A and B are shown apart, each in its own frame.
Chain A
């Protein structure tokens, strides 16, 4: 009887079994190749969509299943357990960081033309916040969208954009009023094959199966109806969405920690040194116990925060703390697990080398550890409280 029983019911666990089977059959046999090729088969995401995994919590009218938030948590846990951070983040960006904005703020037109095909897996989405010169300070972005009749003319650059090479559209964070600071920020849905867009695939330390792009927008014409919500409110939409983004990274982090520790325990039960399996050495046992404890504790906290989110609470403090602690733990966990494997840990034959390099982006992507601490410091020291915008 574990803590997870307080968050998941039997239906969630049945769903877990089904997505586990699906991934075992459709993803696991191909992961090594996808990592090698730096690309996930397009057909895979269509199958993923057909199974309903992209639309678990979305309304039925757009092809979703209208399930509770913890189905999404189960989905994310499971995609995080196939030994490929690049694979996990592709799905996470689609569900938790991009399409969520179309649902919350999009017109019927956008929901039909972008949300519905995203749920079926026909369209893969990305979110364009970061620019070569601006990361977490979204108010300072330089990409401009100037209205011209029924169109916006977009100019600028975005970088580190997951899903942007092979994806179909981007939620572009841009300034419709460049003089207005954060009040000039808007979100536009832009087709990635539009004329004037140049996509350059970036080479990365890890997350090799995911595609990450630098994008240039050169007089790109985007229909005005592709505006999400209202002009000038993009900054607030983003702030509202960041809790979900941080939560999803927290889930991804603890779930991959659980996975890699389990994987290590199997190895430690087989590998012998000095006449006994290495899981009998006290110093390694205590290291395992310490890691297992920390994973259990942060998992509980993340699930609690998910519950707050599901209950409609605005958990800025909690999701920032969850993101901070879980990603830092992940770096430490994958580092220590690699050590358990000795020389084999450094070889691609075992999955722990990949887990190690995949983990390293956690404390950077989705708001760095330093940004999380800035937010938490403001809340704790200045007692600033963030309310839903």
Chain B
């Protein structure tokens, strides 16, 4: 039967699906219950997984990858989500989609050789250290410090909820190399987990039992400077850029687990009898199944479309946030209702639905909570809406080619009505000069120099700023590549929404 999938997956993808499914059936499924029990996945398994090439599907061949397209990743994620263990799924997902991509994108040849290559073979398992006991999604506010001394950094601080942090070999630590600089002081450093001064404590969890989750303390940990990923102070932008893949990954896991558990439930419902008929004949249950199946299908189509946009090189902040929000919320609803289909058996570990229920619960929290997703989406939908298009400024972008020229157009482009309750101070540092822009209750003041305490500082060169404002380069791209440094992205987005664009 034809379906929407054929617009995303080719025959080759489906052949690959068959092969990884066979592999999991043989190498993972027989051990899952034990791994859940022991709260640890056999180290050898990941080596086999790596040998099969599953860790390096779309990594370059020179590092041992297979250089395949993004949808091989999607197939891989779908399949590892269908073995009834969220802990198993997340171990591979964190390694492949949340940690090692940073090394590929920003790592030196040294780091690629020593960390990326063994990660693709499965010899090394990676973790990413963002969350701290006192800071979750608020990355600019992390406290872990890396202070440079000669050719080493000395790291002090704590990270928590770190998947793969107990049995993994290294962690990409998100830390401040310049604690005074807010987001612009954030850097990423690759740290071996057996390093002196690193203490790992395994955390007990509601679900995801097969995965290892650690609280990690860094006590004067000495890390070579060559373990810095990319440049100092750009870590925040690297992370922001990586979050889209993280959210898409969570979304694929979300819908795939739903598909798997609904299918599992349908099998049960076709066998279990009540009042003389199988329970899949009861209309109220049938309609509940139809509703769930519809929501899964609709969401899956959206996630696949967002994946396609990502694969096409688009920056899918809105789509990946929507996908993550909806997929994880649906995960909870789906597992709750599927458990109900099983009656008392659903509460017993004999059936896999109990595990699916507890494993699902982390979905709306990890990788940015539902509330954070809603904050991001609200910013995009409410504060940066395009319904004012008709009032676009008549100022032509080709008429301005200097920072001064652009700043001169700000009063004319100011959306007074939108700024009625705003209270925002912005510092702009350009090559040629500095400005302070103050917006308060519908008034706009532009001053030379940097005055007062800003909500946000923007640093860039004249050329980049003019190129962004006149639409020659994509502003998000400029942020992500660090051409423009913004200390608080949310303030900057609010600021941008208060001015009509140059036309």
A is bound by B:
yes
Asked whether A266 lies within 8 Å of B2 as measured between CB atoms, the reply is no
In the complex formed, the residue of A with least CB distance to B262 is: A380
Contact with A along B1-27 (1 / 0, CB 8 A): 111100100000000000000000000
In the complex formed, the residue of A with least CB distance to B386 is: A262
In chain A between 304 and 321, which residues have their CB closer than 8 angstroms to a CB of chain B? Answer: 304-305, 307-308, 313-315, 317-318, 320-321
B319 within 8 A of A: yes
- Nearest Cβ in chain B — how far from A268, in angstroms? 8
Q: How far is the CA of A318 from the CA of B377 in the complex (A)?
A: 27
Find B7's partner among A265, A275, A277, A304 (CB 8 Å cutoff).
A304
In chain A between 245 and 269, which residues have their CB closer than 8 angstroms to a CB of chain B? Answer: 262, 265-266, 268-269
In the complex formed, the residue of B with least CB distance to A326 is: B298
B371 contact set on A, CB distance < 8 A: 286
Q: How far is the CA of A1 from the CA of B314 in the complex (A)?
A: 8
Asked whether A297 lies within 8 Å of B297 as measured between CB atoms, the reply is no
Asked whether B326 lies within 8 Å of A266 as measured between CB atoms, the reply is no
B299 contact set on A, CB distance < 8 A: 297
Besides A285-B375, A314-B2, A321-B293, 19 other A-B contacts (C-beta < 8 A): A1-B314, A3-B309, A3-B319, A265-B387, A275-B421, A285-B382, A288-B382, A289-B374, A292-B377, A296-B319, A296-B322, A301-B298, A321-B298, A324-B290, A325-B294, A372-B290, A380-B266, A380-B290, A381-B270
Chain B: interface size category = 35 or more
Asked whether B294 lies within 8 Å of A290 as measured between CB atoms, the reply is no
In the complex formed, the residue of A with least CB distance to B286 is: A377
A313 contact set on B, CB distance < 8 A: 2
B440 within 8 A of A: no
Q: How far is the CA of A3 from the CA of B302 in the complex (A)?
A: 9
A339 within 8 A of B: no
Q: How far is the CA of A217 from the CA of B381 in the complex (A)?
A: 52
In the complex formed, the residue of A with least CB distance to B381 is: A292
A298 within 8 A of B: yes
A300 within 8 A of B: yes
In chain B between 359 and 414, which residues have their CB closer than 8 angstroms to a CB of chain A? Answer: 371, 373-375, 377-378, 381-382, 385, 387
Asked whether A265 lies within 8 Å of B2 as measured between CB atoms, the reply is no
Q: How far is the CA of A322 from the CA of B302 in the complex (A)?
A: 13
- Nearest Cβ in chain B — how far from A359, in angstroms? 19
Asked whether A297 lies within 8 Å of B289 as measured between CB atoms, the reply is no
Q: How far is the CA of A269 from the CA of B1 in the complex (A)?
A: 47
B478 within 8 A of A: no
Q: How far is the CA of A279 from the CA of B385 in the complex (A)?
A: 12
Asked whether A265 lies within 8 Å of B298 as measured between CB atoms, the reply is no
Asked whether A300 lies within 8 Å of B381 as measured between CB atoms, the reply is no
Find B326's partner among A269, A297, A372 (CB 8 Å cutoff).
A297
A293 within 8 A of B: yes
- Nearest Cβ in chain A — how far from B297, in angstroms? 6
Asked whether B377 lies within 8 Å of A289 as measured between CB atoms, the reply is yes
> Can you list 25 pairs linking A and B with CB atoms under 8 Å apart?
A1-B309, A3-B309, A6-B305, A6-B309, A286-B371, A288-B381, A292-B322, A292-B381, A294-B326, A296-B302, A296-B322, A298-B298, A300-B302, A307-B7, A321-B298, A324-B291, A325-B295, A325-B298, A374-B286, A374-B287, A376-B294, A377-B286, A380-B266, A380-B293, A381-B289
- Nearest Cβ in chain B — how far from A119, in angstroms? 31
A280 within 8 A of B: yes
A294 contact set on B, CB distance < 8 A: 326
B353 within 8 A of A: no
Contact with A along B291-311 (1 / 0, CB 8 A): 101110111011001101100
Give the interface centre of A288, A293, A381 by most chain B CB atoms within 10 Å.
Answer: A293
In the complex formed, the residue of B with least CB distance to A320 is: B294
Q: How far is the CA of A288 from the CA of B375 in the complex (A)?
A: 10
Q: How far is the CA of A307 from the CA of B2 in the complex (A)?
A: 12
A385 within 8 A of B: yes
Asked whether A381 lies within 8 Å of B266 as measured between CB atoms, the reply is yes
Q: How far is the CA of A381 from the CA of B291 in the complex (A)?
A: 12
A370 within 8 A of B: yes
Asked whether A3 lies within 8 Å of B305 as measured between CB atoms, the reply is yes
Q: How far is the CA of A373 from the CA of B288 in the complex (A)?
A: 8
On whether A277 and B381 interact (CB within 8 A), knowing A297-B299, A381-B286, the answer reads: no
Asked whether A297 lies within 8 Å of B298 as measured between CB atoms, the reply is yes
A residues at B contact (CB < 8 Å): 1-3, 6, 262, 265-266, 268-270, 275-277, 279-280, 285-286, 288-290, 292-294, 296-298, 300-301, 304-305, 307-308, 313-315, 317-318, 320-322, 324-325, 370, 372-374, 376-377, 380-381, 385
On whether A288 and B378 interact (CB within 8 A), knowing A308-B2, A308-B4, the answer reads: yes
The A/B interface has a contact count, at CB < 8 Å, of: 129
Asked whether A318 lies within 8 Å of B4 as measured between CB atoms, the reply is yes
Asked whether B382 lies within 8 Å of A293 as measured between CB atoms, the reply is no
Find B322's partner among A297, A305, A318 (CB 8 Å cutoff).
A297
Asked whether B290 lies within 8 Å of A376 as measured between CB atoms, the reply is yes
Find B287's partner among A286, A314, A315, A373 (CB 8 Å cutoff).
A373
B375 contact set on A, CB distance < 8 A: 285-286, 289
Q: How far is the CA of A370 from the CA of B382 in the complex (A)?
A: 34
B425 within 8 A of A: no
B160 within 8 A of A: no
Asked whether A300 lies within 8 Å of B301 as measured between CB atoms, the reply is yes
A301 contact set on B, CB distance < 8 A: 297-298, 301-302
- Nearest Cβ in chain A — how far from B33, in angstroms? 28
B280 within 8 A of A: yes
Asked whether A321 lies within 8 Å of B297 as measured between CB atoms, the reply is yes
- Nearest Cβ in chain B — how far from A356, in angstroms? 21
Q: How far is the CA of A288 from the CA of B385 in the complex (A)?
A: 12
Asked whether A376 lies within 8 Å of B298 as measured between CB atoms, the reply is no
On whether A300 and B290 interact (CB within 8 A), knowing A265-B385, A277-B421, A293-B377, the answer reads: no
A320 contact set on B, CB distance < 8 A: 294
Q: How far is the CA of A192 from the CA of B102 in the complex (A)?
A: 69
Q: How far is the CA of A52 from the CA of B466 in the complex (A)?
A: 44
- Nearest Cβ in chain B — how far from A61, in angstroms? 31
Q: How far is the CA of A300 from the CA of B316 in the complex (A)?
A: 14
- Nearest Cβ in chain A — how far from B128, in angstroms? 26
In the complex formed, the residue of B with least CB distance to A328 is: B291
Asked whether A321 lies within 8 Å of B377 as measured between CB atoms, the reply is no
Find A373's partner among B269, B286, B298, B308 (CB 8 Å cutoff).
B286
Asked whether A297 lies within 8 Å of B381 as measured between CB atoms, the reply is no
In the complex formed, the residue of A with least CB distance to B371 is: A286
Q: How far is the CA of A208 from the CA of B280 in the complex (A)?
A: 41
In chain B between 233 and 288, which residues have their CB closer than 8 angstroms to a CB of chain A? Answer: 266, 269-270, 280, 286-287
Q: How far is the CA of A325 from the CA of B377 in the complex (A)?
A: 21
B204 within 8 A of A: no
Asked whether B4 lies within 8 Å of A381 as measured between CB atoms, the reply is no
B418 contact set on A, CB distance < 8 A: 269
| Chain A to chain B: the 5 pairs with minimum beta-carbon distance, closest first | A376-B290, A289-B377, A373-B290, A377-B286, A285-B378
B203 within 8 A of A: no
Q: How far is the CA of A149 from the CA of B18 in the complex (A)?
A: 62
In the complex formed, the residue of B with least CB distance to A1 is: B314
A298 contact set on B, CB distance < 8 A: 298
Find B305's partner among A304, A321, A372 (CB 8 Å cutoff).
A304
In the complex formed, the residue of B with least CB distance to A316 is: B1
In the complex formed, the residue of A with least CB distance to B297 is: A321
